[in-house]
Amino acid sequence: MRKCIMDYFKITTDETLRETVQHGSERYPFAYYPEDIWQFDFHRIDWHWHHELEFLYVAEGTAICFIGTSKVELHKGCGIFINSGVLHCFEARSSTFTPNIVFAPTLLASENSLIYEKYILPVINSAVEYQIFDPNSTSERSALQLMLQIFELQENGQDNELCTIQLLLQFWNILFKDGGWNSDSDSLQRLNHNQARLQIMMQYIQEHYAEEITLEMIAASASISKSGALHIFQSGIHCSPVAYLIQYRLAQAARQLYTTQKSVASIANETGFTSAGYFCRKFRQYYNRSPKEYRKKKRKKVLKVCFITTHYKKRVL
């Protein structure tokens, strides 16, 4: 799901923020990822979406989840289902172990089947972006226990596909019965339009971040007003367009810090900052360390991951 070594602990997406990795295979579109959010770049699994469905469980720590227009905190023992096509992001303030599965809805039933039409489509086509599972609820605790069994199957080795699907179907039965998946066509259409505009503006920023960009230019890329751009960004990813631009520039600069030997001044200039001093202030403000300190720490971390990858074949992530 996420790349290792020089790109390790990092989501890879296209210009629309769709995650580009294939989850599982065409014959078995299911993937299991035992991950610690704290180990990702800047303790954050960045904004992305995928057509597949996702279930994440918090085994240790607290996960801060940004999903569509919502922000929720998931504590140890809780889980969350994320619907198809929904933008989401995870953060952590300390080590937060979150095993998760990502799977295609067609794993449960073929698209032309009655099962898919009656039980899968209503969930995918609903306006519900996510559902939280609390261990204090009897039915939700049952769903969480099924997920834990699925995780255990993946940890125990191969030849677990049949049992995995069997448990997934039991989980889906609980999800479907408890979810209230009635489709709200108006809210769905509004959500889709806003998400499309958000992705257009984010793509514009990603393509032009090294240049001088204003709020007016970002809004114009999606043919909306400045106030409209502010609203869509705030409701979609909980920050302003300019704040996202600065964060994106800093992320690109951070990448160059540990993948190149370029000077801090050169990196600042190439990533759209007006001066090295301003860049260093923003970098420290956002990441709590100077660019040079980050470069030194990151390279040590990469060497450690290289050692782990060489000596242990089992995935750390």
pLDDT tens digit sequence for 188-203: 555 567 888 888 899 8
What pLDDT is stored for residue 188 in this prediction?
A: 53
What gap in Å lies between CA 202 and CA 233, rounded to an integer? Answer: 9
pLDDT above 60 (res 7) = no
Would you state the structure tokens that stand for residue 56, as one six-digit string?
């994440």
The answer to whether the CB of 9 falls within 8 A of the CB of 41 is yes
Least confident interval from 146-160, 237-251, 288-302:
288-302
- Chain centre distance of CA 149: 24
pLDDT above 80 (res 312) = no
Least Cα distance to 144 among 118, 178, 174 occurs for: 174
**Residue-wise pLDDT tens digits, 200-226:** 899 899 999 999 999 999 999 999 999
pLDDT above 90 (res 10) = no
Banded model confidence at residue 298, pLDDT cuts 50, 70, 90: confident
DSSP state of 105: G
The reply to whether CATH 2.60.120.1440 applies to domain 186-302 is: no
Helix (H) or strand (E) holding 30: strand 30-36
**Residue-wise pLDDT tens digits, 154-184:** 999 889 999 999 999 999 999 998 877 766 5
> Dihedral through CA 55, CA 135, CA 147, CA 61, nearest 10?
60
What gap in Å lies between CA 160 and CA 8, rounded to an integer? Answer: 28
What pLDDT is stored for residue 184 in this prediction?
A: 56
What pLDDT is stored for residue 236 in this prediction?
A: 84
Q: For the chain, where are the alpha helices, taking DSSP H only?
A: 114-115, 121-124, 138-155, 161-179, 185-208, 215-221, 226-237, 241-259, 264-270, 276-287, 291-311
Over residues 39-49, the mean pLDDT reads: 88
What pLDDT is stored for residue 196 in this prediction?
A: 82
Q: Where in the chain is the domain with CATH 1.10.10.60?
A: 186-302
What pLDDT is stored for residue 182 in this prediction?
A: 65
What pLDDT is stored for residue 302 in this prediction?
A: 53
Least Cα distance to 131 among 76, 48, 67 occurs for: 67
What pLDDT is stored for residue 296 in this prediction?
A: 87
What pLDDT is stored for residue 310 in this prediction?
A: 41
Higher pLDDT, 62 or 187: 62
Tell whether the torsion through CA atoms of 202, 203, 206 and 207 is positive or negative.
negative
The DSSP-derived string for 266-300 is HHHHHTT-S-HHHHHHHHHHHHSS-HHHHHHHHHH
Would you state the structure tokens that stand for residue 310, as one six-digit string?
């060489």
pLDDT above 60 (res 231) = yes
What gap in Å lies between CA 57 and CA 227, rounded to an integer? Answer: 37
Rounded CA Rg of the chain = 21
Q: Where in the chain is the domain with CATH 2.60.120.10?
A: 2-182
Which CA distances in Å does 186 have to 54, 76, 127? 25, 35, 9
Pick the CATH number of 2-182 from 3.90.226.10, 2.40.50.140, 2.60.120.10, 3.40.50.2000: 2.60.120.10
> Dihedral through CA 193, CA 195, CA 200, CA 204, nearest 10?
150
